[in-house]
Structure 1
Amino acid sequence: MGLFINKKVFRLGFSLLIAVGLALGILIQPAAALTEDQKLLSEVWRIVNRTYLDDTFNHQNWATVRQKALEKPLKNHQAAYAAIQDMLKSLDDPFTRFLDPEQYRSLQVNTSGELTGVGLQIALDPQTGKLEVVAPIAGSPADKAGIRPRDRIIKIEGVSTENLTLDEAAAKMRGPIGSLVTLLIERDGEGETEKRVMRDRIALNPVVSELRMTPQSTPVGYLRLNQFNANASMEVAHAINDLENKGAAAYILDLRNNPGGLLQAGIEIARLWLDSGTIVYTVNRQGIQGSFEAFGPALTKDPLVILVNQGTASASEILAGALQDNGRAQLVGETTFGKGLIQSLFELSDGSGLAVTIAKYETPQHRDINKLGIKPDKVIPQEAITRDQIGTQADQQYQAAVELLTKNSVLVGLGARG
């Protein structure tokens, strides 16, 4: 999932100036009026021109790109959409993309907390260009079918994904509730396998929480956060307060296979754990740094371990990096996905949308993690486990987190506190 800031873009009216050279008797004619489809293409071009992170536009003359796009006849909206997508492809940035009205509405629903489909978060591998699973949504049809992070989707309903955009692939996996979609999955060491997945309504309750007792009788609050949607901060705050009231003496925050979501949700959740300190720095193409700070008080000062893996991406990495750099939490697991770019979502004049990479982010210690990820304090490899095995003896990363917490001098001999 992309890391989004929402905003509206309003169309601007333009006036043409007709210049008349009386002395020379020359009449300079105004340029031919643009069609509605050409105006939409120009609208996209202007937004990218004004906001895109890379001011070289992938080392090309961006004005020439617009000129060439407008030279081709645009017979209808679909032709305009195709021309816009071709224009954006020249940036070689899978996160800067056009969304037709249906795709735009779907993304809005996703970040609002509800969607319909198979429940997969997907990305294009920047090295291979293959369609890759970032993570299945917990409890979704894709999750129940055994699809895992880093699986590659080779075909959807027999159609190769080689030349599909992210949104085209997502559209092919959507459909009526109860209908089946066939996916050809490639997995390292296992070759290709076919999965038939039944589409359903996906409930996006992003937080799972419970109080657990360690073998040393230490009460630990376990929270699993599945994505950063509009409800995430409120749900995490509610879970922490509930666990505090039940007597939690330490916490494990599970961000494994959390593909991210809204930037603001990541910042707000970091504030729940911090009294003070920088959460994240943002850098745009002018090099201007913005920062987001914690202003306290934290909901709890109890020790915290965060579980991460290769499916921990985007807003999850902002949260993990903020709490690691501020010394608030230790990270256990595997190096994270490595998405350090921020997209802004623009609504276009015809109801379609545009996601544009407008900035990159750095952790409080100025680490740029894009394509690198965040290395945990304690690296623990994990064999594939089922959803039911999370937090059990089979979950080596969880067990390492429990061990780290119970060895903490603050907790030794504490047991269940009053």
Structure 2
Amino acid sequence: MLRKRFWAIACGLLLVLGTVFAPVDEAVALTDEQNLFLQAWRYVSQSYVDETFNDNNWWILRQKFLKRHLDTTEQTYDAITEMLAVLDDPYTRLLRPEQYRSLKVSTAGELSGVGLQININQDSGSLEVIVPIAGSPADEAGIEAKDLILAIDGVDTKNISLDEAAARMRGRKGTTVALTVQSAATQEVKTLKLARDTISLNPVYAKLEEYDHQKVGYIRLSQFSANAKAEIEKSLTDLGEKGADRFILDLRNNPGGLLQAGIEIARLWLDQDTIVYTVDRQGISDSYNATGNAITDKPLVVLVNQATASASEILAGALQDNGRALLVGEKTFGKGLIQSLFELPNGAGMAVTVAKYETPLHHDINKLGIMPDKVIEQNPIPYRMMATSDDGQYQAALDLLSQQSTLANAVS
């Protein structure tokens, strides 16, 4: 059973520190490289969500790879990557030391880079911008949501992983990186030279909106980082003191983050309800529940779109299934898998899919997504246009909140 003490990164990763030990069954002494490979093999063997390992005999694979000459760490990394590829699971992957450090840093609240949230477009396989962080070098250079990053310092992004792309864009403050970008709006391709800077990862933007003689608190959450719950709580308190009597929570373009942060944020809105179920490879179900410490019961509308993923979907699904909020926007991304993050002894790490999650009404949203209560389709808009008069989804949420009786009936 998954333990609630584990932290989860997102795209729902459970952070597990330390080493998994297994009985030593080798008749001869193993090299450091073979032990590194075996450690990776054991993590998958003991934790992977699919006991059939995508219809592969995991023990035979182990023996096959141990017969290779693994003379260098890089050769071992390649062997681990090849082994994981048979699972046909893009979320179960090796993280080389720099990638592993970057992933941990990205959830801590600050890093040095260009300020882009990126993903792989499932249809085209291209590296796509989810959203630039406000005020970042990428934002100031005019890079916008849905733009494609074709190359990083001349390296074709078709040939590298998402983690490697992120690592290549990060670096010391003041150093530069060249991004070849294709505009989603005009299809124009241009190369931009950006100076890296310290990126503050405050994941929350909040404002008070006067609309139809009502005060609406607007909160946008861009990532479920370690400080997300505290920032959301602070924003709720500040907006409440300013007179907000209804709220919009914007989860659009939010790719996920720490699963535990998503659970804690749900507890700010829910009192005594189930937030999410997790189901491991034995089919054993566990649940995370509200703790009776909600800090507001004011009407709530949640904005979602096709880039609302993972921990964002957990939060949105919990609020929708429990009748706490109405969802407005487009069907969400559909990532219902949880990865554990394991450390390897040489500074590398592994993300391993260990479970799937279900919403409180037991909806499995993996590859299906969550359908909003009110569908409002909208072409991607720049960050600066969100929550303005040019944002049709936001305007629809304001209209819905102004219809208090309709909203109360819908969520009762």
Give the distance between the partners of 1:92 and 1:138, measured in 2 at CA: 35
Structure 1 residues 331 and 263, CA gap change in structure 2 (3 angstroms): same
**Aligned with residue 206 of structure 1, among 181, 203, 207:** 203
Give the distance between the partners of 2:90 and 2:134, measured in 1 at CA: 25
Give the distance between the partners of 2:23 and 2:380, measured in 1 at CA: 58
Structure 2 unaligned runs (5+)?
A: 1-9
Tell me the TM-score normalised to structure 1 length: 0.89
Map 1:92-111 to 2 at 5 A.
Answer: 92-111=88-107
Match of 2:34 in 1: 38
**TM-aligned CA deviation for residue 102 of structure 1:** 1.9
Give the distance between the partners of 1:133 and 1:168, measured in 2 at CA: 15
Which aligned runs of 4 or more in structure 1 are off by greater than 6 angstroms?
none
Give deviations 1:164-214, integer Å, cap 9, x for gaps.
Answer: 122222222223323332333346674352241332211001111122211
Match of 2:84 in 1: 88
- 1:79 is matched by which residue type in structure 2? Q
Q: Secondary structure at 2:262's aligned position in 1?
A: helix
Map 1:50-129 to 2 at 5 A.
Answer: 50-129=46-125
Give deviations 1:328-362, integer Å, cap 9, x for gaps.
Answer: 01111111111111111111122211111111111
Matched, 1:247 2:247: no
- 1:66 is matched by which residue type in structure 2? R
Q: Secondary structure at 1:302's aligned position in 2?
A: coil
**TM-aligned CA deviation for residue 367 of structure 1:** 1.2
**TM-aligned CA deviation for residue 126 of structure 1:** 4.4
Structure 1 residues 308 and 139, CA gap change in structure 2 (3 angstroms): farther
Q: Secondary structure at 1:79's aligned position in 2?
A: helix
Q: Which has the higher relative contact order, 1 or 2, with Cα contacts under 8 A spaced 6 or more apart?
A: 2
Give the distance between the partners of 2:293 and 2:171, measured in 1 at CA: 45
Match of 2:14 in 1: 5
Q: Secondary structure at 1:84's aligned position in 2?
A: helix
Give deviations 1:140-161, integer Å, cap 9, x for gaps.
Answer: 3233334344443332222222
Give the distance between the partners of 1:291 and 1:11, measured in 2 at CA: 25
Q: Secondary structure at 1:98's aligned position in 2?
A: strand
Match of 1:366 in 2: 362
Q: Secondary structure at 2:158's aligned position in 1?
A: coil
Give the distance between the partners of 2:282 and 2:142, measured in 1 at CA: 44
Give the distance between the partners of 2:363 and 2:407, measured in 1 at CA: 31
Structure 1 residues 151 and 411, CA gap change in structure 2 (3 angstroms): closer
Give the distance between the partners of 2:123 and 2:312, measured in 1 at CA: 22
- 2:178 is matched by which residue type in structure 1? T
* Total equivalences in the alignment: 398
**TM-aligned CA deviation for residue 241 of structure 1:** 1.4
CA contact (8 A) 1:53 1:359 kept: yes
**Aligned with residue 374 of structure 2, among 378, 383, 400:** 378
**TM-aligned CA deviation for residue 275 of structure 1:** 1.3
What RMSD in Å do the two structures reach over aligned CA positions? 2.1
Matched, 1:334 2:330: yes
Match of 2:255 in 1: 259
Match of 1:312 in 2: 308
Match of 1:325 in 2: 321
Give the distance between the partners of 1:411 and 1:161, measured in 2 at CA: 45
**Aligned with residue 140 of structure 2, among 120, 133, 144:** 144
Q: Secondary structure at 1:68's aligned position in 2?
A: helix
- 1:33 is matched by which residue type in structure 2? A
Give the distance between the partners of 1:13 and 1:395, measured in 2 at CA: 55
For the pair shown, which has the larger CA radius of gyration, 1 or 2? 1
Structure 1 residues 334 and 131, CA gap change in structure 2 (3 angstroms): same
Matched, 1:156 2:152: yes
